[in-house]
Structure 1
């Protein structure tokens, strides 16, 4: 098939690249000329494991191309994916201005039947808004609007796309349904389902899924905080809970809160949808409140250790991205902790395998950056672990101890065992464990 993807951000680039991998011809369009120039030259603009290999392969095979010409891209594609930003508005709702702006333009560009697909995470009713915007200028016989939310986890997005747990497609059009089934059949050869439903249900499914996972994380963080009060070990509680098949083992790891481009924005957006429909979604309100508090709980621990005085203390940070295997720092707990440390007068030096360039754009020379996880320990009083990168899990503890002035480690991701740290002579604090 000839596929157009409008938007070359995280979702758009992964979507376009993965569709080209199964033999489709994909044209991605973006208004950012520099980005399009880089992508066309074979320079990938995001960090995502496994993406670069298939990106280059499909450019070489001429199945994947990039342009700034929207009219050309619309004319090319039989299927047009909208993978545009939906940033959080001031009131917590999703900002649909990018999507509606493109929808208004599509009506003047479509000359034959097209399927317009909302791939972005959008509020309930967006498909109807897109449909109405296009229908202002062309006949409804020339297009269908479909909701096809993405369920990509940063760090494993290629695997998620190529081998999805499920594909959700919202449409009431039989014509669009059959095209979408054909499009996705190569990705579900092992029997994973394609669920067809109405557009509004598909739109709500994405928000419901992300909000439930965020709730699960938040609940576990609350349990971890309670464990510290009563002297229990959250690791043991997690094992006991996770073995129940009704609960499951995943998303039960406590830490310093969720971040990224999806959970914070989607939880707030779903809460806003409920508010607009005069429904009090109390659980989500609590999730938002608890997560905001959890993001800086590790700062409270280090501040207490230094008896409220962090001025002049040099704090080393391992990890800046909101999760491992990505350079994404959107709503990363590390950023909130950095703000607290700087405000308290601490000297901050940091290392992350992928995210330092993005953080440097925000802070400049306010914090120092190191070339590796050991260099960042130079002259440091204490170490804070903020992202659970695999390379941090089995370090040289003797070397760390020789570098840290106060032999203190604050583990916000529970990657080290407390007993082992005690045996190695560290002062050690983590989340929800003795």
Structure 2
């Protein structure tokens, strides 16, 4: 029986959503972990057991791993460089100002700050989503700074917000972008507990590993936008996109996952990643290969303005003074992330047309208020829908999906609802006297307005 390899000491650079999750989960797996960030407020909060964002289950796991003594947080790069044998870089790659390209300042800084301080053999592993070719460039920079003692690998992340702990501890695959057998072995040692569970590994070159994440996100965005493009056709022809999607889902070449019509995708990954992918393809001279991603993006954005149209069809055409209860602000349920959130974009568009918009989200109200302070915010579902002329479902939180239409009907001024996510029980709402509209679905013929 082969002896289990010694556990390498781990550092995680960046303690945002990805970094904090990686650090906590690696410590939970039994590794000694030091997580470093330049933000002392964030570091102090995490060291005290407080997450600066919402992610189900991660808060409990943070407290538990801190208690083991295997996890600590610091602002000291020198401390991290001296401690770690495998360094995971998990900093953000936001969209550049005035461009679709990714802003790589934080990635570059993390690699250079580490490389300048590392004094022995080590592996720096990029997990951030970057344009293809970044790893090779960084490998050259690190080799120059360290005399070849430090190698670079790429290990893309595939976290779904709301399921980050599960996706880290029980991933569907691991991708190792490496340039040597030694780097591969270091990653195998770092992920030994997962490999023992049989998690599949794809060992690839650096460029392929970089492409996996953006290719996966591009495919997912395309599938979501495809069914929403069909929703546009359904709206023009009187067909029902929900029935169309159901029929397509039985085809095992297509499948039903993410073939769900509605308001579309948002968040801090899909929109920026497909735009950065297009920008990088243009730099590589192959922009024609991903031209379709521009239309994918545009289809997604059009769903937002079409949702406003549905509100206008119910309560307009003039929306001045119309009270709208906007249920949801986060880009998806079980998250407080409002980056490029379709929900907030729709609320803002309604506000700009003069509607009186009241937003309620179980977890994202504070972040939404920081992004759009001009909107009004409620502390509960009941407060949000009180005296509403139109109720608008924008994020499919369980609280909203399970709410009784009979109970809400007592509170609203008019029983009108726009289901932006296709998540509600249509027949129950109509039976309770609601006028129901959804993207890609025909209005009920002869429905009486309450």
**TM-score (structure 1 length as normaliser):** 0.97
* Residue of 213, 221, 231 corresponding to 1:214: 221
Q: Secondary structure at the match of 2:417?
A: strand
Which aligned pairs between 1:414-433 and structure 2 lie closer than 5 A? 414-433=422-441
* Residue of 407, 420, 423 corresponding to 2:415: 407
- 1:23 Cα deviation after fit: 0.3
The 1:414–1:13 alpha-carbon spacing in structure 2 relative to 1, beyond 3 Å, is: same
Give 5+ residue unaligned stretches, structure 1. none
| 2:402 paired with 1:388 | no
Which aligned pairs between 1:27-426 and structure 2 lie closer than 5 A? 27-89=34-96, 90-140=98-148, 142-279=149-286, 280=288, 281-364=290-373, 366-426=374-434
Runs of 4+ in 1 over 6 A off after TM superposition: none
Partner of 2:3: none
Distance 2:62 2:114 in 1: 27
Distance 2:440 2:196 in 1: 42
Distance 1:367 1:339 in 2: 8
Is contact 2:49-2:59 (8 Å) kept? no
Deviations along 1:101-153, one digit per CA (max 9) or x if unpaired, are: 2222233201001100011001111111211222232211x111001000000
Distance 1:419 1:230 in 2: 22
Is contact 1:213-1:251 (8 Å) kept? yes
Is contact 1:164-1:188 (8 Å) kept? no
Is contact 1:296-1:333 (8 Å) kept? no
Distance 2:372 2:10 in 1: 39
Distance 1:420 1:294 in 2: 25
- 1:226 Cα deviation after fit: 1.5
- 1:272 Cα deviation after fit: 0.9
Q: Secondary structure at the match of 1:137?
A: helix
Distance 1:107 1:43 in 2: 30
Distance 1:38 1:52 in 2: 11
Is contact 1:30-1:67 (8 Å) kept? yes
Partner of 2:14: 7
- 1:190 Cα deviation after fit: 4.0
Is contact 1:168-1:202 (8 Å) kept? yes
Distance 1:181 1:188 in 2: 7
Deviations along 1:264-287, one digit per CA (max 9) or x if unpaired, are: 011101111111122212211111
| Superposition CA RMSD, Å | 1.3
Distance 1:28 1:205 in 2: 26
Distance 2:248 2:436 in 1: 25
Distance 2:246 2:281 in 1: 34
- 1:373 Cα deviation after fit: 1.1
Deviations along 1:297-345, one digit per CA (max 9) or x if unpaired, are: 2111112323321111111111110000000001100121122111111
Partner of 2:446: none
Give 5+ residue unaligned stretches, structure 2. 1-7, 443-450
Is contact 1:100-1:133 (8 Å) kept? no
Q: How many residues align?
A: 432
Distance 1:394 1:204 in 2: 39
- 1:430 Cα deviation after fit: 0.7
